[in-house]
C-alpha cells in the first residue's frame, strides 16, 4: 500500500525558503500533480519524497511507514527526471537493467524483467540499440522503463515530457497515465503546464513560492480557484477590478468600468473593492436584438480587437477603461466588428468575487 502523507514539511536553502509548511495526503493509486511556476518548489518537494533532499522539519509516510529518514533505495520509489538521465555508454537493455544490477538481481531474472519493462513502454526488440540511435520520445520511454523495472510502489515524474515536441507530449502523457493505472501505482507528477495537469491528473496541487495555494480536482482548481493567483495560473481569464454597488440575498452587483456585473457571493457590502473572475468561455456573445437566456445577466461593450485562432476566436472588449476577454468556438458572429457594440450574456454563478489584492 502506498498512500503518501506529507506532514508540515519545510526546507530552506540559505535564505531561499523552497518548501514552506506543506501538508498533503495522496491516496493509494492516485495520479497527483504538483503544478506551479518555475522556482516554486516542485522539484524540491519531489526530491524529498524520493530521498534526494533532506527535510528541515516535518515527516513523510508511505502507508503507516515513516520513510523520510530512509536512503532513496529503501523507499521503493522510481523517479523519472526532466533530462532523461540515460547513460550514453550503455545499451537500452543496459540502461533499463541498471537498477536491477545495483540491487544484485541475477542475470536470468534481470533479462526477463528488462524485456517485460520494455514491452510495457512499447520498446520490445530495442534491447541492443544505443541511446544515440533513439528519438526523444523513445529515450523518454527508456527512462520510464528503467524506473518501472524495479517495480516501485510510487512513481515520481519530474517534468518528464518537457524535452518533447507538443504533439508527442500529448501522446506520451496519455501513455504514462494508462501505464500508471494498469500497474496501480501511486504517482506524483510535476509540471508547469496547466493543460497537461488538467488532462491527466486526478488531483492537482497548485504551488507558489514553496506553499500549496490549492489542492483539488482539475475541475475544482479551474472552476473554483481559491484565489486570483490560481485562477490566473490555470489559463487565460478575466480578473476585473471593480467596486460593489449593492449586495442582496447572495447576489452582488459590481461596477466594472462603465458596466454592471452580477455575481454570486456569500459576503460583500457596497463600497468594497473586489476582483471579479469570469472565464472568457463563460461569456456568450448575444445575437443582435436578443436578450440573454433565462437566469443570465448581460452587459454591453465595444469590440476592441478580434483574433481568429481556428478552433476558437478571441475578442477583447472595452468596458470603458477595462478590457474583458471573450472566447467563442469557431468564428465571431457577423455583427461583432472592431469598434462595434455587442451584448454579452453570462451565468452569474460563473462570476466569482475575491477581495481586491
Ligand atoms: N540545492 C539547492 N541549493 C540552493 N537553492 C536551491 C537548491 N535547490 C533548489 N533551490 C532553490 O529553491 C527554490 C525551488 O526550486 P525547485 O527546483 O524546487 O523549483 P521548481 O518548482 O522545480 O522550478 P522549475 O519549474 O524551474 O523546475 C528555487 O528558488 C531554487 O533556486
Ligand atoms: Mg523543477
- Tell me: the pLDDT tens digits for 180-215? 999 899 999 999 999 999 999 999 999 999 999 999
Pick from 11, 15, 18 the residue to mutate for probing ligand 1's pocket: most ligand atoms within 8 Å of its CB. Answer: 18
Distance in angstroms (rounded) separating the CA atoms of residues 327 and 93: 49
* pLDDT score recorded for residue 240: 97
Which three cell numbers mark 333? 458572429
CA of 301 to the centre of ligand 1 (A): 44
Distance in angstroms (rounded) separating the CA atoms of residues 343 and 325: 13
Q: Helices 136-148 and 107-120 sit at what angle, rounded to 10 degrees?
A: 130
- The answer to whether 37 touches 21, Cβ cutoff 8 Å, is no
| Ligand having the closest approach to the CA of 36 | 1
Which residue stretches of the chain have pLDDT < 70?
1
| Closest residue CA from atom 20 of ligand 1 | 39
82 CA closest ligand 1 atom index: 27
Sheet of 203-208, strand order: 77-80, 154-158, 186-191, 31-35, 203-208, 211-216
Pick from 10, 11, 16 the residue to mutate for probing ligand 1's pocket: most ligand atoms within 8 Å of its CB. Answer: 16
State if residue 201 touches ligand 1 by the CB under 6 angstroms criterion.
Answer: no
Q: Which class does domain 238-355 fall in? A: mainly beta
| Closest residue CA from atom 3 of ligand 1 | 13
* pLDDT score recorded for residue 1: 57
CATH of domain 4-233: 3.40.50.300
Kindly report whether the global pTM for this prediction surpasses the value 0.75.
yes
- The answer to whether 33 touches 201, Cβ cutoff 8 Å, is yes
SS3 (DSSP) at 147: helix
State the span(s) of the chain assigned CATH 3.40.50.300.
4-233
Could you give the dihedral angle defined by the CA atoms of residues 260, 266, 267 and 272, in that order, rounded to the nearest 10 degrees?
A: -20
Burial 203-241 (b: 16+ CB within 10 A, else e): bbbbbbbbbbbbbbebeebbeebbbbbbbebbeebbebe
Distance in angstroms (rounded) separating the CA atoms of residues 247 and 270: 7
State if residue 13 touches ligand 1 by the CB under 6 angstroms criterion.
Answer: yes
For residue 224, give Cα distances in angstroms to 19, 27, 98, 201, 270. 24, 22, 45, 16, 24
Distance in angstroms (rounded) separating the CA atoms of residues 316 and 64: 53
* pLDDT score recorded for residue 278: 96
CA of 188 to the centre of ligand 1 (A): 17
For residue 46, give Cα distances in angstroms to 83, 158, 183, 199. 15, 8, 21, 20
Tabulate helix, strand, coil % of the chain (nearest 5): 25, 35, 35
Amino acid at each position: 500500500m502506498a498512500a503518501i502523507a506529507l506532514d508540515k514539511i519545510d526546507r530552506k536553502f540559505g535564505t531561499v525558503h523552497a518548501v514552506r509548511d506543506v501538508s498533503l495526503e495522496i491516496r493509494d493509486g492516485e495520479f497527483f500533480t504538483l503544478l506551479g511556476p518555475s522556482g516554486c518548489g516542485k522539484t524540491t518537494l519531489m526530491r524529498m519524497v524520493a530521498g534526494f533532499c533532506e527535510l528541515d522539519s516535518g515527516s513523510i509516510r508511505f502507508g503507516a511507514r515513516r520513510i523520510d529518514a530512509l536512503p532513496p533505495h529503501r523507499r521503493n520509489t522510481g523517479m523519472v527526471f526532466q533530462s532523461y538521465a540515460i547513460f550514453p555508454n550503455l545499451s537500452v537493455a543496459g540502461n533499463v537493467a541498471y537498477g536491477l544490477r545495483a540491487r544484485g538481481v541475477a542475470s536470468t531474472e534481470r533479462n526477463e524483467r528488462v524485456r517485460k519493462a520494455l514491452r510495457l513502454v512499447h520498446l520490445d526488440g530495442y534491447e541492443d540499440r544505443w541511446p544515440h540511435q533513439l528519438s526523444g520520445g523513445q529515450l523518454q520511454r527508456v527512462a520510464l522503463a528503467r524506473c518501472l523495472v524495479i517495480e516501485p510502489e510510487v512513481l515520481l515524474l519530474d517534468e518528464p515530457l518537457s524535452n518533447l515536441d507538443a504533439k508527442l507530449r500529448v501522446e506520451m502523457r496519455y501513455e504514462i497515465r494508462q501505464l500508471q493505472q494498469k500497474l496501480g501505482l501511486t504517482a506524483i507528477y510535476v509540471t508547469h503546464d496547466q493543460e497537461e495537469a488538467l488532462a491527466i491528473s486526478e488531483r492537482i496541487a497548485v504551488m507558489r513560492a514553496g506553499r500549496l495555494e490549492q489542492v483539488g480536482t482539475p475541475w475544482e482548481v479551474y472552476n473554483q480557484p481559491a484565489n486570483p493567483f490560481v485562477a490566473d495560473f490555470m489559463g487565460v481569464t478575466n480578473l476585473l477590478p471593480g467596486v460593489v454597488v449593492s449586495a442582496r440575498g447572495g447576489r452582488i452587483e459590481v461596477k466594472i468600468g462603465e458596466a454592471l456585473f452580477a455575481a454570486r457571493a456569500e459576503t460583500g457590502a457596497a463600497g468594497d473593492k473586489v476582483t471579479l473572475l469570469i472565464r472568457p468561455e463563460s461569456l456568450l456573445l448575444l445575437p443582435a436584438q436578443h436578450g440573454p437566456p433565462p437566469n443570465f445577466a448581460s452587459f454591453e461593450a465595444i469590440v476592441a480587437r478580434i483574433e481568429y485562432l481556428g478552433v476558437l476566436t478571441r475578442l477583447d472588449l472595452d468596458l470603458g477603461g477595462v478590457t474583458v476577454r471573450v472566447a467563442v468556438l469557431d468564428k465571431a458572429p457577423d455583427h461583432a466588428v472592431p469598434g462595434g457594440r455587442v451584448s454579452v450574456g453570462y451565468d452569474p454563478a460563473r462570476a466569482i468575487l475575491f477581495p481586491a489584492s
